[in-house]
Amino acid sequence: MPNRSQSTFQTGKAKVFLVDDHPIVRQGLGLLINREPDLVVCGEAEDAPSALQRMASAQPDLMVIDISLDGPDGLELLKTIRLKEPILPVLILSMHEESTYAERSLRAGANGYIMKQEATERVLVAIRRILEGKVYLSERLTNKMLEQFVHGAGASNNNPLTTLSDRELEVYRLIGAGHGTRQIADELHVSVKTVESYQAHIKEKLSLRNARELLQHAIESSLSEKSAFGAAD
Amino acid sequence: MPNRSQSTFQTGKAKVFLVDDHPIVRQGLGLLINREPDLVVCGEAEDAPSALQRMASAQPDLMVIDISLDGPDGLELLKTIRLKEPILPVLILSMHEESTYAERSLRAGANGYIMKQEATERVLVAIRRILEGKVYLSERLTNKMLEQFVHGAGASNNNPLTTLSDRELEVYRLIGAGHGTRQIADELHVSVKTVESYQAHIKEKLSLRNARELLQHAIESSLSEKSAFGAAD
DNA sequence: AGATGCCATCAGGAAATCCCTGAGGCGGGT
DNA sequence: ACCCGCCTCAGGGATTTCCTGATGGCATCT
């Protein structure tokens, strides 16, 4: 009887573990969850190390993890958890714009993503959906993902950057390094118009709306090539 | 009988009004406050306009305001409130680094500043202190303020963001969140020209050469919010 | 071989922005 | 009273963004 992740069948309540660096948020979520008949909080943690430590004895059916933690962030924690618990349901909670982190979260193995701006009931909806083995995303996000799946020939590439051509990727990296259109044109010995064209293609392939989002995406992606977080086993 | 701000004397409970854009946080704070015998939540709002509107009928004895609101931020709200309610106690709640916002909050008329990272009981301590007419700050902050008071002006600026004016910082954060000039102008209800002016000032103060460097700086700073801890001594 | 498609390269032109100069009102400090 | 910083905005030239094409090369599919 190796897992009990299909929520209720023994205790009658699905056990939820909370990870957030804001005590107020933990308290709020805790009270919210505990007053549901089918859910109960089985543990809390304020950062990744203590979460990993306390999880062992708490035996949660589901994790709710905030992205912004001190030290290793929520995604790092998620990845570490995935090493030991490949199927434990995880809901990522964040105050950031979906567009920034949702995709990243799913790739890291999350079963759902929800913003703190959402109404509290949505959190319960998300939790139950995930406990049913489904994925929770906002409607807008779901559509975006589907579209990207269709456009991007899905299956093989989990990384949308692989759909970029060599030249496009080159430009993308330079943008992430903070270089401007003009500068990039000079560096690649092509016309500014050509670089603009690449940017347009990149934006299309990555479903970005304008140059700001492109710069944002490129910077974030260039920054996330770091840190590994020593495996905790 | 012009004010009732010395907490209890009529209802027996001091009325607290909450302003935060995260429903979960409002819920958490609300439950926390309402289970205290001497405190009660008299209203909530998720942004500045609705806060101002609902305050009138709620007649709070104290406001708890989060800094990061959509549209006008918590400091703007505080200043607006101060125009009508010069002595209404206000506690500023923030997830941001103290060094960036605490001093600014006090200058804007706050009676206290507390981070969301603090234990929930600290919030109650802060509320009661403020209701007594005192000022609440973390010990570390208090010391820093005192020291700064003694040593006169300078010294404490290892964080260049502290040189930005309130309005400038607000724009800076919005830029970091990916908002465009036009959008920011709309959100702050000012002219595009005004926003451009802020951007120019920010660039000057942070020694940034152009708009792209500004965007880059703002994005990176919004992504970190961790590291970069200004040593307090 | 022709059709189709992706890639690399570039132009034209309207819209948005950037960026420099300048300026008025307000509040605080000396 | 004077100066200085902050908040607010305008005018206008310089750049960038962004949309609509266009050309030729190369590979693949039919």
Residue B142's pLDDT is 79
3-class state of residue A38 by DSSP: coil
Residues B21 and A162: their CA atoms lie apart, in Å, by 37
**pLDDT grade for A10, boundaries at 50, 70 and 90:** low
Instruction: Tell me whether B182 touches chain A (CB under 8 Å).
Output: no
Residue A136 DSSP label: B
The answer on pLDDT for A89 being more than 50 is yes
Distance of CA A127 to the CA centre of its chain: 16
The tokens describing B3, both together, are 């004010």
Mean predicted confidence (pLDDT) in B140-156: 61
Residues A101-113, mean pLDDT to the nearest whole number: 85
What six digits make up the tokens of B120?
A: 């929930």
Do residues A41 and A79 make contact, with C-beta atoms less than 8 angstroms apart?
no
Residue type for position A228: A
| CB-CB under 8 Å, B216 with A215 | yes
Residue A227 contacts B, CB cutoff 8 Å: no
Mutate to test the interface with A, among B19, B21, B24 (most CBs of A within 10 A): B24
Give Cβ neighbours of residue A28 (< 8 Å, ≥ 6 apart).
Answer: A120, B24, B25, B26, B27, B28, B29, B31
Q: What is the pLDDT of residues B6-42, one digit of tens each?
A: 444 555 889 999 999 999 999 989 989 999 999 999 9
The Å distance, CA of B193 to C1' of D10, is 8
A76: contact with B, CB 8 A cutoff: no
Positive or negative torsion for Cα B151, B133, B111, B66: positive
Q: Tell me, what amino acid is at A37?
A: P
**B16 vs B223, residue with greater confidence:** B16
**pLDDT tens sequence across B167-219:** 999 999 999 988 999 999 999 999 999 999 999 999 988 889 899 999 999 98
Report whether B143 contacts B232 (CB < 8 A).
yes
Return the pLDDT at A85: 85
pLDDT at A155 (0 to 100)? 41
Give the C-alpha distances (Å, rounded to integers) separating A65 from A29, A166, B61. 11, 36, 35
In order, the DSSP letters of B161-196 are: GGGS-HHHHHHHHHHHTT--HHHHHHHHTS-HHHHH
Closest in A28, A116, A220 to B223, CB measured: A220
Separation in Å, CA of B220 to nearest CA in chain A: 8
CB-based contacts of B217: which residues, under 8 Å, 6+ apart?
Answer: B206, B208
Give the confidence band of A148 by pLDDT, cuts at 50, 70, 90: low
Which neighbouring-strand residues pair with B14? B39
pTM > 0.85: yes or no: no
Which of chain D's bases lie under 7 Å from a protein CB? Answer: 5-11, 15-22
Are B138 and B114 spatial neighbours (Cβ–Cβ below 8 Å)? yes
Q: How far is B151 from chain A (nearest CA, A)?
A: 32
CA distance B233 to B148: 11
How many interface pairs between A and B have CB atoms less than 8 angstroms apart?
89
What count of residues does chain A have?
233
> Which range among A95-99, B48-52, B117-121 shows the weakest confidence by mean pLDDT?
A95-99
The contacts of residue A17 (CB under 8 Å, 6+ apart) are A41, A42, A43, A44, A45, A51, A54, A55, A58, A60, A62, A63, A64
Q: Report, as an integer, the average pLDDT of A44-51.
A: 92
The β-bridge relationship of strands B90-94 and A39-45 is unpaired
Question: What CA–CA distance (Å, rounded) separates B222 from B178?
Answer: 10
Predicted pLDDT at A76: 86
- What is the share, in percent, of chain B residues with pLDDT greater than 70? 85
Judge whether A116 and A74 are in contact, CB under 8 Å: no
Of A79, A94, A68, A100, residue with least CA distance to A219? A100
Q: Smallest CA–C1' separation from A209: which nucleotide?
A: D18
A213 vs B contacts (CB less than 8 Å): 178
- Cross-chain residue pair B24–A31, CB shorter than 8 Å: no
Question: What percent of chain B is modeled with pLDDT above 90?
Answer: 42
Give dist(CA B22, CA B221) in Å, integer: 22
Res A95: pLDDT = 83
Average pLDDT over chain A, rounded to an integer: 82
Q: pLDDT class for A153, splitting at 50, 70, 90?
A: very low
Q: What are the tens digits of pLDDT across the range B88-141?
A: 999 999 887 776 788 788 888 889 999 888 888 899 999 999 999 888 988 777
| Cβ atoms within 10 Å, residue A204 | 10
Is B216 within 8 Å of A220 when comparing Cβ atoms?
no
Q: How far apart are CA B176 and CA B22, in angstroms?
A: 19
**What is the DSSP-derived secondary structure letter of residue B109?**
T
Average pLDDT score over residue span A111-121: 89
* A112-115, strands of its sheet edge to edge: A39-45, A14-19, A62-66, A90-94, A112-115
Lowest-pLDDT range, A88-92, B16-20, B148-152, B157-161? B148-152
How far is it, in rounded angstroms, from Cα A68 to Cα B31? 24
Q: Sort out which chain B residues have CB atoms less than 8 A from A71's CB and list them.
A: 226
Handedness of CA A212, A213, A217, A220 (dihedral sign): positive
CA–CA distance, A69 with A37 (Å, rounded to integer) = 29
Contact (CB, 8 A) for A34 and A40: yes
Residue range A171-196, pLDDT digits in tens: 998 999 889 999 999 988 999 999 99
